[in-house]
Amino acid sequence: MIEFLWLWIFLLLPAPWLARRLLKPVTPASQAALRVPFLDDFEQQTSTHRQTQNRRWLMLIAWLVWLLLLAAAARPQWVGKPIELPVSGRDLMLAVDLSGSMQEQDFVINKRAVDRLTAVKMVASRFIERRTGDRIGLILFGDKAYVQTPLTFDRATVNTLLLESAIGLAGERTAIGDAIGLAIKRLKKNNQNQRVLILMTDGANTAGEIQPLKAAELAANSGLKIYTIGIGADEIVKRSFFGLMRRSNPSADLDEATLQGVAETTGGRYFRAHDTAELEQIYTLLDELEPAERETKSFRPTKALFYWPLAFAFCLTGLLLLIQVRKKYF
């Protein structure tokens, strides 16, 4: 249907008639320094019936131009049928570790060794794209924790900022407790059954002002559920300088006990991702979380239509000008 946002504009419709009746006549053309032939000419008395009819038609066109201008000024728009927005009601915050250990290349993508952060970006990016209807936020942490993206339905922006993150951007150490505390602060204004934090790290808490387990207790009291993901392979084999094969554990610093305690305290789960395939499986499980109920939102698409009456008004005005020019010079 068509709606006018400023319908009161049509109250100006009789303005030209009122102006003609109430204002004093302009100086006669014979005494004027400059004469602009337009609508005044339409009022000249004619001696023939044909000229009278032409004048009436011209006045009718002039009034139509005025009506079209008012219609354009009233901001007409086409309003479509209501469209429901797919809103699940879940507020989901991602906390990603950017400490120096995330540069360990013990993950494989397309048969090529990549660092841990690259693997996290790839898998988490796909996860974000699938979370239609959720408000998603992004926390990056190292020596300190920072909100990179507040809660938003704009998944494209969250994805972009996640992909632009870099190792060491927040410092070399790991402040897990501060990341949890920051998530609590950002989510505390929402209902308890709607808040989830997914925390990904490959180490132990080595920085920050609050311990992870203490932060987990605060999260549990505020109704925040935390899913923790430990990242990193248990063993990698590297060739030494002398050609010998050397085995090492790149995840020796991973504090699984603390991560598991954080998850259990808040009613969440702890996951272990040794490689890219396991990380994908974890996010598939997380993707199956039941959304919390929330009132359905909808919107009605609109399309501006003011340019149609405006264009017709210009065309008719041009026609009037051509008629006046033709009448004067031909």
pLDDT attached to residue 265:
94
- Global confidence as pTM: 0.61
CATH, domain range 85-287: 3.40.50.410
pLDDT of 36 reads 47
Mean pLDDT of 87-97: 81
Instruction: Give the integer Cα–Cα distance in Å for 63 and 309.
Output: 13
Rounded to an integer, the average pLDDT of 223-235 is 87
pLDDT single digits (tens) 46-57 = 445 566 677 788
**15 has pLDDT over 80:** yes
pLDDT at 239 over 80: no
User: Of residues 48 and 104, which shows the higher confidence score?
Assistant: 104
| Residue 226, CA distances (Å) to 5, 47, 152, 165, 279 in order | 47, 92, 19, 22, 17
Q: Tell me how crowded residue 132 is: count the other CB atoms within 10 A of its CB.
A: 11
Return the higher-pLDDT residue of 178 and 242.
178
**Residue range 102-131: mean pLDDT, rounded:** 87
**Quick check: 87 pLDDT over 60?**
no
Query: How confident is the model over 100-111, as a mean pLDDT?
Result: 85
What number is the average pLDDT over the span 103-113? 85
Lowest mean pLDDT among 22-26, 82-86, 181-185, 285-289: 82-86
Question: In the predicted model, is pLDDT for residue 317 greater than 70?
Answer: yes
CA separation, residue 194 to residues 129, 139, 182, 191, 262 (Å): 19, 18, 17, 6, 18
Average pLDDT, the chain: 81
Residue 35 in this model has a pLDDT that exceeds 80: no
Domain with CATH 3.40.50.410 in the chain: 85-287
| Percent above pLDDT 70 for the chain | 78
Contact 180, 195 (CB under 8 A): no
Residue 254: per-residue pLDDT? 85
Among 32-41, 222-231, 277-286, 312-321, the range scoring the smallest mean pLDDT is: 32-41
Predicted confidence at residue 70, as pLDDT, reads 92
Structure confidence at residue 326 (pLDDT): 77
